[in-house]
Each structure stands twice: as structure tokens, then as C-alpha cells.
Chains A and B, each alone.
Chain A
Amino acid sequence: GESVGLHLPTLSVQEGDNSIINCAYSNSASDYFIWYKQESGKGPQFIIDIRSNMDKRQGQRVTVLLNKTVKHLSLQIAATQPGDSAVYFCAESILTGGGNKLTFGTGTQLKVEL
């Protein structure tokens, strides 16, 4: 089946710097993408999503970029804070045709150094 992968398992950044977490997806039919944050001992928390008719979407301190040509997704976190330390997952889905079944990547651990 199709899978979603991440380039780096662990990313360390200094507090205040910008973080970029990358994700490669393999299903060219995917039309919906999401980033989740999971803190230790908790369930994944929705951060931001983007549909395939867009290439950029911004939230509060976060930006998701989608490059459909190379099937690449990235999450940018501005002015990274200690509270951003967590595992980040990307996920993809095909919304057309009904249903919504996400395929998740294995995650990237973000560590914020003081």
C-alpha cells in the first residue's frame, strides 16, 4: 500500500530559531494533508491542514508548504519554543469519493534546546 515517510527521525533546534520538518508522500492521488503534534503520553493534536489545490497555508507560528511536483510536504515553525518539543506526524488522505482514511508517517522528534 501507499506510505508516508519522513526525512529525519530527530531534529534539534535552538529556542527562537525556525524549525522545518519535512515529509515525503508517495500517493499522487492524495488530496488532503495534515500535520499533527504528539507530546509524550498524549494523543496526536491537529496542527494545520492543506488541500491539494493550495501550495501554502499559514496558521499561528506555523506554515505548511505542499509541493505536488515532487510529492513533498513541510511544516515550518517560527520562533521555536520549548513547548514545541514533541513528535510531529504528517498524514495524507484522499477525500474525493467519500470517506477520509489517513495514512500516517512514522514521525519526527523535535527537540528544542535552550
Chain B
Amino acid sequence: DVKVTQSSRYLVKRTGEKVFLECVQDMDHENMFWYRQDPGLGLRLIYFSYDVKMKEKGDIPEGYSVSREKKERFSLILESASTNQTSMYLCASSTHTRGYTFGSGTRLTVV
């Protein structure tokens, strides 16, 4: 069964901490994406990558960075966590021609 695995289901971090959210896919997909999901706002794209070492900003990249050193792994980094980054974070992967496969999500709370 193909999978997108996010390393943590729940995280609690303090304001100002550097936070790493990890995502691994086993489908050899070219594309990987990070979204955040908030009530009433739907899914908003933070960053995406169409290839190893490649990254592009999505709609809301401020306060985030990403790393894709290997094809199967796409990391989201919160450089200095703030309370407005409390959210559900969803990772997804895809080929160029089909829909996304999502991970189960990481619910991050910044206190």
C-alpha cells in the first residue's frame, strides 16, 4: 500500500522554537507539497517541489522554509514558531499527471 508518512501526528512547541516537520513518500513521486489547513480557510499551499533540491513558494510561504535533499523526503521548517502557525499541516505527493496522495497530517500547537 503506497504511503505518505508524516513523522508526528501531534506536536506542541514553544514560541520562538525552530520546528521541523518531516514527510516521506514511498511512491517515487516527483512532486511534493506542504499545506496548512485551518477552519473556514481550507487548504492553503505553503511550499512545493517538483524535483530534488528544487522548491517553489506557494500562497503563504512567510515564516516557513523547506528542504528536499532526497526525492522521497520533503521537510517543512518553521524558523521561529509563532502562535499564528498553530494549525494542521498536511504533506502530499503526486506524479505530474494524477492527483495527490496525502499524509495523515500533523497537528501543531504553538504555545
Contacts and interface: CB of A to CB of B under 8 A. Distances in A.
Interface of A: 1, 32, 34, 36, 41-46, 49, 89, 91, 95, 98-102, 104-107
B95 interface: yes
- Grouping DSSP codes into helix (H, G, I), strand (E, B) and loop, the A interface class, with mixed when no group exceeds half, is loop
Interface of B: 4, 31, 33, 40-43, 45, 48, 50, 59, 90, 92, 94-105
A99 B99 contact: no
B43 A100 contact: no
Given A43-B102, A43-B103, A106 B96 contact: no
Contacts of B105: 41-43
Given A43-B90, A100-B96, 13 more contacts: A1-B59, A34-B99, A42-B104, A44-B90, A44-B100, A89-B42, A98-B50, A98-B96, A99-B31, A99-B96, A100-B97, A100-B98, A101-B48
